[in-house]
Amino acid sequence: MSDFSARRVMMVDTQVRPSDVTKFPIIAAMLAVPREAYVPHSKSEAAYVGENLEIGNGRVMVEARTLAKMLDALDVQPTDRALYIAGGLGYGAAVLGRMLASVVMVESDAGLAGAAQASFGAGNVCVVTGPLEAGAAGSYDVILIEGGVQDVPEALLAQLAEGGRIAAIFMQGALGSVKIGHKADGRVTWRFSFNATAPILPGFAKIAAFAL
């Protein structure tokens, strides 16, 4: 039997800490959440590799480094209300749930959403099944989108509270960069944080403008 607990420590020591992620709540959460429980069963042995992991239907679980750096850049606080978009099988939402009192996770794939909810049980992560770009009704201090985007719909940005932060991986061809958006005076201003890649999520592709 694989020693997943030892692999978890190695993941944090070789992928997360060297990426300048040192905040205790993030480190503690990633050491506590069993990543192998949130991947397809056939891929449990690859749960701790340092790259994006395919979970089906063109979707991926982003590598631990990317998730940790996104959480770090969002400066998550214990009192934050959080919305997790495209949670897949739930690993990232579970990590965030270790840091906060409650998390709302949105997943459009009913199979993934059902598996995630089964993993959470009666815990503090609520799974909403529906279009990713629609988010979930409410006002959130933190929004994290686990996947590539070309554009973030206004309907989702409207759910970000004043003073809130949002993280997304903006893709341009094969290249991507994580940007953090800050909302002030009703507007979201984006700033570059670090490089990362992920497939573009359904509902987040840029709509081509019609031209004559």
Task: Quote the tokens at residue 8.
Answer: 């978890």
H helices present in 53-198, as ranges: 64-74, 91-99, 110-120, 154-157
- Length of the chain measured in residues: 212
**21: Cβ contacts below 8 Å, ≥ 6 apart:** 27, 65, 68, 69, 71, 72
Q: What is the pLDDT of residues 79-109, one digit of tens each?
A: 999 999 999 999 999 999 999 999 999 999 9
Work out the pLDDT band at 1, boundaries 50, 70, 90. very low
Q: Which pTM does this prediction carry?
A: 0.95
CB 205 within 8 A of CB 153: no
Query: What gap in Å lies between CA 188 and CA 78, rounded to an integer?
Result: 22
Secondary structure class of 138 (helix, strand, coil): coil
